[in-house]
């Protein structure tokens, strides 16, 4: 996933059916730079194609989950470069994580602010340690939440809660975030990974294909990759028919297929 001389900013550990993806830039509170965005996209492609992985846990190295985008990485960009590359490429990488076929559990072991909360929103479940704070403070420095902080977060958390964070600058505690539906579980400091692993283990005991399809359908219902989900599920259904096998065989044999409708 990285070159020989490139720092590993996204760590991937696979233990059986569970993958743990760790944001590894603790000296910057795991704030994203361009290399980190690229490594996230590459790592997601590895996970997506892994037959063994059935659940993914994401978390941050050190004392933070993710502090969002590194201001030093984007602050000096021209307006066009900021939109064309920083925002668009960030969106692409985040979309890959949100649309993984495997369920994703986020362990908020530290504050999730700005892009960090946008990152947490990609998960299917969020476990927050009780010292954590969440918010979308971008307008305080003259920018907007740019990695779907006003779109996916609204779909997943509700418009008024996002409005309070993005427009009015409110920052919520873990307990408040749970009450508002931003996080699903609150645990004591240092216990987030333990809870996530327990949930992940239970998830691996469920039928993997049914779980994958259920996630895809929920994503489609909330407007996440609706077209791709519908075509993928229909394609899977068609691919399992005798008609497809007959069509492929007939094509190879250079004859007219005899379809039976099953």
Q: Give residue-wise pLDDT tens across range 196-228.
A: 999 999 999 999 999 999 999 999 998 877 777
- Please tell me the predicted confidence (pLDDT) of residue 139: 86
The answer on pLDDT for 85 being more than 90 is: no
Give the pLDDT mean for 80-99. 78
When pLDDT is averaged across residues 93-122 and rounded to a whole number, the result is 94
Cα R_g (the chain), whole angstroms: 20
For the segment 176-196, the average pLDDT, to the nearest whole number, is 98
- Joined together, the tokens standing for residue 148 give 């779907």
Helices 34-48 and 88-98 cross at an angle (nearest 10°) of: 30
What pLDDT sits at residue 193?
A: 98
Model pLDDT for residues 16-30, shown as the tens digit of each residue: 999 999 999 999 999
- For the chain, what are the domain ranges? 10-204, 208-253
Across the beta sheet with 133-135, what order do the strands follow? 112-113, 133-135, 171-173
How high is the pLDDT of residue 48?
Answer: 95
Q: Is 118 a catalytic residue?
A: yes
Asked if residue 69 has pLDDT above 80, the reply is no
The neighbouring-strand residues paired with 10 are: 23
Does 147 have pLDDT greater than 80?
no
Q: Which residue out of 61, 118, 129, 224 is catalytically annotated?
A: 118
More reliable by pLDDT, 232 or 11? 11
pLDDT at 83: 64
Find the mean pLDDT for residues 99-112.
96
Q: Does the pLDDT of residue 15 top 50, yes or no? A: yes
The residue from 138, 212, 225, 246 that is catalytic is 138
* Whether the predicted pLDDT of 78 surpasses 80: no
- Identify the pLDDT of residue 71: 65
- Where do we find the tokens 């949930």? 199
Query: Above 60 in pLDDT, residue 4?
Result: no
Torsion from C-alpha of 85, 170, 177, 102, nearest 10 degrees: -10
pTM: 0.89
User: If pLDDT is split at 50, 70 and 90, which confidence band does 3 have?
Assistant: very low
What pLDDT shows up at residue 261? 87
Q: Which of 22-31, 51-60, 106-115, 137-146 has the lowest mean pLDDT?
A: 137-146
**Architecture of the domain whose range is 10-204:** Alpha-Beta Complex (3.90)
Q: pLDDT band for position 113 (50/70/90)?
A: very high
Residue 55: closest CA among 15, 91, 9 = 15
Query: pLDDT tens across 119-132, in order?
Result: 999 999 999 999 99
Per-residue model confidence (pLDDT) at position 7: 85
């Amino acid at each position: 996933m990285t070159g020989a001389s490139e720092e590993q900013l996204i760590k991937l550990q696979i233990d059986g059916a569970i993958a743990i993806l760790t944001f590894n830039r603790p000296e910057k509170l795991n704030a994203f730079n361009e290399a980190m965005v690229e490594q996230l996209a590459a790592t997601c492609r590895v996970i997506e194609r892994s037959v063994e992985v059935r659940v993914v846990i994401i978390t941050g190295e050190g004392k933070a989950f993710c502090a969002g985008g590194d201001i030093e990485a984007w602050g000096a960009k021209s307006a066009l470069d900021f939109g064309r590359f920083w925002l668009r490429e960030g969106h692409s990488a985040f979309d890959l994580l949100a649309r993984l076929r495997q369920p994703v559990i986020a362990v908020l072991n530290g504050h999730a602010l700005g892009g960090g909360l946008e990152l947490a929103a990609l998960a299917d479940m969020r476990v927050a340690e009780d010292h954590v704070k969440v918010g979308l403070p971008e307008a305080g420095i003259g920018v907007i939440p740019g990695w779907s902080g006003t779109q996916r977060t609204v779909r997943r958390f509700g418009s008024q809660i996002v409005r309070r964070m993005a427009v009015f600058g409110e920052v919520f505690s873990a307990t408040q975030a749970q009450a508002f539906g931003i996080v699903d579980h609150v645990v004591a400091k240092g216990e987030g990974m333990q809870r996530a692993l327990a949930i992940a283990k239970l998830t691996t005991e469920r039928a993997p294909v049914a779980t994958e399809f259920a996630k895809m359908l929920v994503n489609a219902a909330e407007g996440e990759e609706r077209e791709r989900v519908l075509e993928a599920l229909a394609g899977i259904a068609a691919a399992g028919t005798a008609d497809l096998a007959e069509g492929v065989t007939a094509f190879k044999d250079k004859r007219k297929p005899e379809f039976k409708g099953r």
